[in-house]
Chains A and B, each alone.
Chain A
Amino acid sequence: MITSFMTRAGVRSAIAVAIACTTLAAGQAEAQDRSLKVWFGRQNFIPEDEFAKFREENPDIDVKFEVVRLEDVNSQLILALRSGNAPDIVQIHTRDVEQLARGGVVKDFTHMIDEMKTRFPETYAQLAPLAWEGASDSAGAIYGVALYAQSIYLTYRTDLLKQVGITPPLKTTDRVLEAAKAIGELGGETRGFSLNGCCVSPTWELPLFLSMGGQMENGVPQIDSEIGREWISFYQELMQSGAAHPDTPSWDSGQMRAAFIGGRAAMMNEGEHIYVEVHKQMPYEDGNWAFEALPTRPGQTEPQVQSGFAFPFIVTTANEDEEAAMLALEYLSRPDYAKQVAIRYQPTTNMAVASDAEYLAAKPWAEDVSPLSSNLVSLPTHPTKAIQVYDVIEELRDRMVADNKADPAALATEFQKKLDAVAN
């Protein structure tokens, strides 16, 4: 009897709790009848408050976010669109903007960016031109905002250069080679230059090609040229001379960076975001490492180009609430949030951050990098075959490091043919 009563009471309580939960959920749904889904390319890009302030300012918008790796985002996005659960905003590589736009995956958001300019003039004015270039197609249509962009700089240990009697800046590739070889000849474990040899996209090598005066036609590097051959020879010579570690063909970016950070390499071409880790091991203020623009060829007549690539937040065609997407983009663009990411990870295109005291204290090299990053040119990419072009360049990078005795002219011709084949 007692058991039966307890069971009935239990059932009644469960029903009451269920009704209460449903009512509560319904109430919440009424309060948040707008929703927004954002995909970040890395955990590090997520603002620390995880949209708390945004929710406070826009209580009717329910924001959800996920981390979908930049490496997988294109395929995941297409699958998600197909299944009807695609995000409203997605973070991608700049190189893929036009390809996704032509595929009808991302939305021309130019009109909402204009609205953002009107409604939030202060935030808008803080953003560098690269914020829009990095989120645009070749026709100028804007699909979102590129809040984070990086470039690759020649980074070196000044203390080791001093040991071999070389005073920076190095400026040209022949001086870099000379310094790398001299340091390599010092003996011990320290090599002259740390390189990638596999497993990562050629985003370190293409900027050097452009810096050396290399030309891109419709996003395809013209490597079957004098500049292309010199570019290939540069890497081959680092390997041949022993200035780079013989295991380099199996090195990815992690090993390349760790060799420099761990003091086993004197130079590397690297982005500013890695300086955070370098600084932890070797405080910048101690003056034992520094950086400069990527080198040019000796006697180069073409202007030095410091190219960069961004990780824009793009609005997808799944978005039905354009205002909510615009508000989220504006929120992410604010200096407070951009600063958080810039301090721990990638540099931001929000120029207000560059003069922020907290930022400058956290990144003592920021003032020195500023003149270099202020003139960044977006790395040109093929409108529809960017990934395929990158794949060929990656294969070439692996070859010129592993097969360092191959004829550079033959390599240039072979890979130009491959590039032309995939791009046409």
Chain B
Amino acid sequence: MTGPSSKKSGAGRSRTGPVRDWSGRFGRAALIGIPLAVLVVWTLTPIVWAVLASLKEPLEIYESNALLPANPTLAAYRKVLAMDGFGRWLFNSALVTVVATFVPLTISVLAAYGFARYAFRFRHVLLLLYLVPRIIPRVSLIVPLNSLMSDLGLINTYWVLFITYSASAIPLATWILVGFFASVPKEIEEAATIDGANMWNRLRRVMIPIAWPGVVTAGVLCVREAWNEFAFVLALVNESTMRTLPYQLYVLKDAMGVQDYAVYNAFTVLTILPLLLVYLLLERRVVDSIVSGSVK
């Protein structure tokens, strides 16, 4: 039974080979393409919706379910850009994001190198403890943090945002980088040691370049965390000059009037635009780093 049936199927394969190849290729493309298309639609729909909503008249969003604005207008963007303090909120967001990306990355690179390369006692427990600030719900940190920062006289200062944002990002970045550093073969580092490289040079000239995709990934996540952070800034800042963009976006919500969703969406678009640009810019870098790493 097995022989003839095998033959049959063999003959069939040869007859329908190109068709099968085509269907196989099509199947593979569909397997990758369909989920990818769903993901793209899933990701882009809210952004496209927000952009189109920002071009509508104030009441149009309520009145019509149409995606496209009836009379597209940039009035909402003009309103947002004319707001007293928009430049300041943008500056605040940018400043805290830059600081809360570079400080955690610097500390995390050193910490991750130590965790990945040195076999000291309790390092696994310590690495686990590193995650504790991320495990505790952010809301439950607000009152003790506010109390602590009040005692230090840091409320309504940039320092309070630098410290809390950085402290929140360090565990995340460290955990990502530990994985990347640990995957770098020890032999490469040993070769560098034989060539006379000290620890600092090994880290700077060997480990970081090889683990660069990890550094960039951790950096992108730090940027995203700092740019979008809301709970801490709400609790630790109450002067309008110290607000960040997400805080001001929240302040725009007004249940006592008719919510101008066009303005709200224009503000949202302007808030996410710099972050999107950073993503697009660094995504290329990450890909480049991965490719160059594979060639090495």
Interface, chain A (partner B; CB < 8 A): 42, 44, 66-72, 76, 79-80, 82-85, 199-200, 252-255, 257-259, 261-262, 264, 273-274, 277, 281, 345-346
Contact = CB atoms under 8 A, between A and B. Distances in A.
A68 B234 CA distance: 10
5 contacts: A66-B240, A253-B255, A257-B258, A262-B59, A281-B59
B259 interface: yes
A79 B63 contact: no
A74 to B, nearest CB: 13
A274 B258 contact: yes
Contacts of B146: 79, 82-83
Contacts of B63: 258, 262, 264
Given A69-B250, A76-B238, 12 more contacts: A67-B240, A68-B238, A69-B253, A79-B235, A254-B62, A254-B259, A254-B261, A262-B59, A262-B62, A274-B257, A274-B258, A277-B257
B150 A42 contact: no
B21 interface: no
A84 B59 contact: no
A66 B150 contact: no
A277 B59 CA distance: 10
Contact of A42 (B238, B254, B258): B254
Nearest to B234: A72
B265 interface: no
Contacts of A254: 62, 255, 258-259, 261
A66 B255 CA distance: 19
Contacts, number: 66
Contacts of B156: 83, 85
A42 B149 contact: no
A85 B234 CA distance: 15
A83 B256 contact: no
B239 interface: yes
Nearest to B150: A83
A277 B258 contact: yes
A259 B62 contact: yes
B62 A258 contact: yes
A257 B259 CA distance: 10
Contacts of A69: 250-251, 253
Contacts of A66: 238-240
Nearest to B260: A254
A212 to B, nearest CB: 24
A361 B63 CA distance: 29
A194 to B, nearest CB: 11
A137 B150 CA distance: 30
Contacts of A258: 59, 62-63, 258
Which residue among A67, A72, A83, A281 has the maximum number of chain B CB atoms within 10 Å of its CB?
Answer: A83
Which residue among B63, B149, B261 has the maximum number of chain A CB atoms within 10 Å of its CB?
Answer: B63
B256 A273 contact: yes
B155 interface: yes
Nearest to B62: A258
Nearest to A84: B150
A61 B258 CA distance: 36
A368 B123 CA distance: 76
A71 B147 CA distance: 22
A199 B155 CA distance: 31
Contact of A252 (B150, B155, B250, B255): B255
A67 B251 contact: yes
Contacts of A273: 256-257
10 interchain residue pairs of minimum CB distance: A258-B62, A83-B150, A254-B259, A83-B155, A262-B63, A257-B258, A277-B258, A79-B146, A200-B255, A66-B240
A76 B251 CA distance: 13
B41 to A, nearest CB: 23
A261 B238 contact: no
Contacts of A259: 62
A364 to B, nearest CB: 19
Contacts of B251: 67, 69
A68 B255 CA distance: 14
A372 B62 CA distance: 30
A28 B7 CA distance: 100
A345 B234 CA distance: 26
Contact of A71 (B235, B239, B255, B261): B255
Contacts of A85: 155-156, 238
Contacts of A255: 62
Contacts of A76: 238
A247 to B, nearest CB: 11
B147 A82 contact: yes
Nearest to B143: A79
Contacts of B238: 66, 68, 76, 79-80, 85
Interface in B203-258: 234-235, 238-240, 250-251, 253-258
A274 B59 CA distance: 13
Contacts of B253: 69
A22 to B, nearest CB: 20
A264 B234 CA distance: 37
A255 B258 CA distance: 8
B59 A261 contact: yes
A253 to B, nearest CB: 5
Contacts of B254: 42
Contacts of A79: 146, 235, 238
A367 B236 CA distance: 45
A68 B259 CA distance: 17
A345 B155 CA distance: 32
A69 B247 CA distance: 11
A257 B260 CA distance: 12
Contacts of A253: 255-256
Contacts of B257: 44, 273-274, 277, 345
B256 A82 contact: no
B245 to A, nearest CB: 16
Contacts of B239: 66
A253 B62 CA distance: 12
Interface string B40-82: 0000000000000000000100110000000000000000000
